């Protein structure tokens, strides 16, 4: 059986069609019954993945095709979830590198491809969306080859097979000029080019845990790949922790994959990807091994976090109105639970019992956690994201990001100008028809708040992506937000009359009829200073009429900020208040007297 197993991961940039390709492969292999309702993007399992159309968690499935069993792992395309990718690559023997036939390789592609090349995996290149208007598969293939050379691929890795696909239309072909109507060529390439899993079926049992899930009935479930030997349900095995301690336990449930479904199986052998239950304390990166001869599998180290922010108990006047979980104990328990499955997250206590320092791989990584918490009924306040600075040989080092901006030629000057004060260094510039691709290496600090400005300058047409590059010497000060804010001076409900008078002062974030409190931010000021205003002033009604004063009030629609935009907008002395129904901006210090004193101090 071991000779017929093929373990592959699909890696690609966000939106290049990984999950859609998995859908097409499932359909071709006949995983669905003829009358079965088929959901689109079947691998995006949680609500946030479906809404945003991105993969956040790595997921497994298996397809039987002819005499072969193909285990596929769908990985996230976003660098913020790189921790998911790194541990998944340890489970597979090859990767399908998926590239859009129009966009070509993007920074995330570079990031994940480098990880897989370093592990010695031999990729298969899949050029997807060949049915897209303007697609240029030949040029993209050359770009992929150049990228392989740049990442120091070996000669064997450079000799990669290429498959052209349209996952949406459900066909694959080995030559762009040949007609095809099915995914069969892709399966043929996988079966002939991916090596069967290595490992000795007769050696003592050894399995590396790469994913953890939780089930209310079974408890913790650990998914991983069997490196050596075989395992049966009900068997007693040893669990080897990261620090080397060994405990024994019984496997209460052994699950394999049939298509997307987990099914009970009696035994599994070398090369299989399976899920086991029976161990409450097991974590990612630990080994299950034979009870008589326990030997640990060496584990791949995960990149350290580069960004941190404080999660603080909500202390605003509106605290506790919408949320179910509001105390520091609730927040601590939720963060501890998240640490079990989210390997690239770190949580530390601070001097204040109400504040936790949470570090992650990027803004998106942390904002997805906050979004999940607010949907579960939590209330909290979050501070401005800060990059994690290290000291190496007495020198201050900071994380650098590799930034790629695709923008219309007319806006390229504005983008280049933006990168100067942010200490960005241009490394490449390439025309792409009417568009230009600009590539920079820029400090991670310089990216905070950049997306909003770039979108404004390019009228929403720019495509911006970035990925962690390296730690480099500290680049000096980067100017923060230029504008001040408009903030409410007292509690009350906003009126159209009052907001109409405030419109010329700046951009408003709230409309009429919204409850506000003193110190809450209601808009962005046109000037660089903060301004206290009264948005809840009503019109004095008298029986004296004056001509022209009763014109209908026309309010410009407010600029409603998403969670990510709010985190990018705030300054050091401000917080984002997150509750199940609202996202509000506020000053850390709500008392105006104390705030003035602190700003002078």
Token digits of residue 428: 């490449």
What single-letter DSSP state applies at residue 195?
P
Is 456 marked as a binding-site residue?
no
Is 542 marked as a binding-site residue?
no
Q: Of 308, 325, 312, give the one whose Cα is nearest residue 353.
A: 312
Cα gap 521→573, rounded to integer Å: 12
**Could you tell me if 441 and 402 are in contact, meaning their C-beta atoms sit under 8 angstroms apart?**
yes
Per-residue CA distances from 143 to 106, 152, 162 (Å): 10, 14, 13
Write down the number of H helices and E strands in the chain. 15, 35
Alpha helix locations (H) across 342-398? 363-375
First to last CA, the chain: 72
What single-letter DSSP state applies at residue 378?
B
Is 551 marked as a binding-site residue?
no
**Could you tell me if 322 and 592 are in contact, meaning their C-beta atoms sit under 8 angstroms apart?**
no
Q: What is the DSSP string of 423-442?
A: T-EEEEEEEETTEEEEEEEE
- φ, ψ of residue 437 to 5 degrees: the values are -100, 120
Is 525 marked as a binding-site residue?
no
What is the Cα 549 distance to its own chain's centre? 52
Is 16 marked as a binding-site residue?
yes
Q: What region, left, alpha or beta, does residue 53 occupy, with left being phi > 0 and alpha being psi -120 to 50 degrees?
A: left
Coil, strand, or helix at residue 236? strand
**Could you tell me if 85 and 76 are in contact, meaning their C-beta atoms sit under 8 angstroms apart?**
yes
Is 19 marked as a binding-site residue?
yes
Q: Of 224, 299, 298, give the one whose Cα is nearest residue 255.
A: 224
Contacts of 401 (CB under 8 A, 6+ apart): 441, 442, 443, 444, 447, 466, 467, 468, 469
**Could you tell me if 437 and 406 are in contact, meaning their C-beta atoms sit under 8 angstroms apart?**
yes
Is 528 marked as a binding-site residue?
no
Is 15 marked as a binding-site residue?
yes
Is 511 marked as a binding-site residue?
no
Cα gap 333→226, rounded to integer Å: 32
Query: For residues 105, 108, 112 and 118, what is the CA-based torsion angle, rounded to 10 degrees?
Result: 70
Residue 249: exposed, middle, or buried by beta-carbon count in 10 A (0-12, 13-18, 19+)? middle
Beta pairing partners, 73:
9, 60
Cα gap 519→503, rounded to integer Å: 19
**Could you tell me if 321 and 398 are in contact, meaning their C-beta atoms sit under 8 angstroms apart?**
no
Q: Of 25, 17, 582, give the one whose Cα is nearest residue 317.
A: 582
Q: What is the DSSP string of 305-352?
A: P-EEEEEE---STTTTSS-SB-SHHHHHHHHHHHHHH-TT-EEEE-SS
Length in residues, the chain:
601
Cα gap 338→26, rounded to integer Å: 31
Is 131 marked as a binding-site residue?
yes
Residues tagged in the binding site annotation for GTP: 15-20, 128-131
Residues tagged in the binding site annotation: 15-20, 128-131
């Amino acid at each position: 059986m071991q000779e017929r197993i093929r373990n592959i991961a699909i890696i690609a940039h966000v939106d290049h069609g990984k999950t859609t390709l998995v859908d097409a492969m499932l359909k071709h292999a006949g995983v669905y019954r003829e009358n079965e309702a088929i959901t689109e993007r079947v691998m995006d399992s949680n609500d946030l993945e479906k809404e945003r159309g991105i993969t956040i968690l790595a997921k497994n499935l298996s397809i039987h095709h002819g005499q072969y069993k193909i285990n596929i792992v769908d990985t996230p395309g976003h660098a913020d979830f790189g921790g998911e990718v790194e541990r998944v690559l340890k489970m597979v023997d090859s990767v399908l590198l998926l590239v859009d036939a129009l966009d070509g390789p993007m920074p995330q592609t570079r990031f994940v491809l480098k990880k897989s090349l370093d592990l010695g995996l031999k990729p298969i290149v899949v050029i997807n969306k060949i049915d897209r208007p303007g697609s240029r598969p030949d040029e993209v293939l050359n770009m992929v080859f150049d990228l392989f050379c740049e990442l120091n691929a070996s000669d064997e890795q450079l000799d990669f097979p290429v498959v052209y696909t349209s996952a949406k239309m459900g066909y694959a072909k080995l030559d762009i000029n040949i007609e095809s109507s099915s995914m069969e060529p892709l399966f043929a390439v996988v079966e002939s080019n991916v090596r069967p899993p290595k490992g000795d079926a007769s050696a003592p049992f050894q399995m590396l845990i790469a994913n953890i899930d939780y089930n209310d009935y079974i408890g913790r479930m650990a998914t991983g790949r069997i490196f050596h030997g075989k395992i049966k349900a009900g068997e007693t095995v040893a669990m080897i922790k990261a620090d080397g301690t060994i405990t024994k336990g019984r496997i209460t449930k052994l699950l394999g994959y049939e298509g997307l479904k987990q099914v009970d199986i009696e035994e599994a052998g070398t090369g299989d990807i399976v899920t086991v239950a029976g161990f409450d304390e097991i974590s990612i990166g630990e080994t299950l091994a034979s009870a008589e001869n326990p030997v640990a599998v060496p584990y791949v180290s995960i990149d350290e976090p580069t960004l941190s922010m404080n999660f603080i108990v909500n202390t605003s006047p509106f605290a506790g109105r919408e949320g179910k979980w509001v105390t520091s104990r609730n927040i601590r328990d939720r963060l501890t639970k998240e640490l079990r499955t989210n390997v690239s997250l770190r949580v530390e206590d601070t001097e204040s019992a109400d504040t936790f320092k949470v570090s992650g791989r990027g803004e998106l990584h942390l904002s997805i956690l906050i979004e999940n918490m607010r949907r579960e009924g939590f209330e909290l306040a979050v501070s401005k994201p800060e990059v994690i600075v290290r000291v190496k040989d007495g020198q201050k080092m900071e994380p650098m990001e590799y930034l790629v901006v695709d923008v219309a030629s007319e806006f390229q000057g504005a983008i280049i100008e933006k990168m100067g004060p942010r200490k960005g260094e241009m490394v490449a510039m390439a025309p792409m028809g009417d568009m230009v691709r600009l590539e920079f290496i820029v400090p991670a600090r310089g990216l905070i708040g950049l997306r909003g400005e770039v979108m404004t300058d390019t009228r929403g047409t720019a495509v911006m992506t970035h990925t962690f590059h390296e730690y480099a010497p500290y680049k000096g000060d980067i100017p923060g937000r230029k504008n001040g804010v408009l903030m409410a001076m007292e509690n009350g409900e906003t009126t159209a009359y009052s907001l109409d008078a405030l419109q010329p002062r700046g951009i408003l974030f709230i409309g009429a009829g919204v409850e506000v409190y003193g110190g809450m931010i209601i808009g962005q000021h046109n000037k660089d200073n903060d301004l206290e205003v009264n948005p809840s002033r009503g019109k004095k009604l008298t029986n004296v009429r004056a001509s022209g004063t009763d014109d209908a009030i026309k309010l410009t629609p407010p600029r409603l900020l998403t969670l990510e935009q709010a985190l990018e907008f705030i300054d050091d002395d401000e917080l984002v208040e997150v509750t199940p129904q609202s996202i509000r901006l506020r000053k850390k210090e709500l008392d105006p007297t104390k705030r003035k004193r602190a700003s002078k101090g």
